[in-house]
Amino acid sequence: MTPDTALSQLRAKAVPGKGAEMAAYHKVPRVYLGVSNPDIDALTKAWRPNLTLEERLALCEGLWQSDIHEARVAAAKLLTQARIRPDDSGAWALIASWVPSFDAWAIADHACMAGQKRLVWDPARLDEVEAWATSDHMWTRRAALVITLPWTKQNHPKPAELAARDRILGWAARYVDDSEWFIQKAVAWWVRDLSKHDRPRAEAFLNEYGPRMKAFARKEAGRHLG
């Protein structure tokens, strides 16, 4: 499977007129074929069993470099997998290499979903993600919170997981004065999801930092706190 072959199969699923609608919605200048997420899912699921891991990584990089919306989404979906063996195969490095080129929420979120799996598998990678939190690139700063969302979801976290949770909340605390809408939204997302599993930490964060957050973000972060 080459990137050109994969792109041909994606183009075959395009819905006339949908690409223009997607371009207007996402507002980022790139090619939009007009392929639905379910169709991208079906294609990537069909490709994966026929590829070695090395071939899959090469295909993902080729798709990403095409800068076509659906191709980048497909690349991320191909690497969204709980177990990739060997885990040091280069999957995490490839996903991390994409972060500086993030420029739109949909592609970034798909790539971060793939990255979440690799982070959970090896939490030591949080050391690398921590550097993203001080990046000059807004989408990289945002990715530091989106890719660490699994740490909001443990109901019975171990001490190391609690330490990671507090560490990431420290990054979020540095973001509260950032006026970028997507950064405020990411902080709200993290704290909102955390509130469903760790109400005391979410409340403590909002008590201390809520007054400095944008009103919409503060409201979203506290949605489940009542």
Listed in sequence order, the residues at least 6 apart from 110 whose beta carbon sits closer than 8 Å to its beta carbon are: 72, 73, 76, 77, 80
Pick out the chain residues at pLDDT < 70.
none
- Separation of alpha carbons 117 and 204, rounded Å: 28
Structural domain boundaries in the chain? 1-114, 122-226
- pTM for this entry: 0.95
Q: What local confidence, expressed as pLDDT, does residue 226 receive?
A: 80
Can you tell me the distance from the alpha carbon of 56 to that of 92, in angstroms, rounded to the nearest whole number? 13
Closest CA to 81 of 128, 118, 39, 41: 118
- CATH code linked to domain 1-114: 1.20.1660
- Could you report the per-residue pLDDT of 29-66, keeping only the tens digit for each? 999 999 999 999 999 999 999 999 999 999 999 999 99
How far, CA to CA in Å, does 137 sit from each of 109, 112, 172?
16, 16, 16
Give me the CATH code for the 122-226 domain, please: 1.25.10.90
Closest Cα partner for 179 from 211, 146, 214, 144? 214
Query: Do 111 and 102 meet the contact criterion of CB atoms below 8 Å apart?
Result: yes
**Cis peptide upstream of residue 16 (ω within 30 degrees of 0):** no
Asked whether 188 and 218 are in contact (CB, 8 A), the reply is yes
**Helix %, strand %, coil % for the chain, to 5?**
70, 0, 25
Q: What span, in angstroms and rounded, lies between the C-alpha atoms of 92 and 115?
A: 7
Q: Which two tokens stand for residue 98?
A: 């994409």
Alpha carbons within 13 angstroms on the beta-carbon side of residue 109 total 6
With a CB cutoff of 8 Å and minimum separation 6, the contacts of 42 are none
CA distance 32 to 51: 26
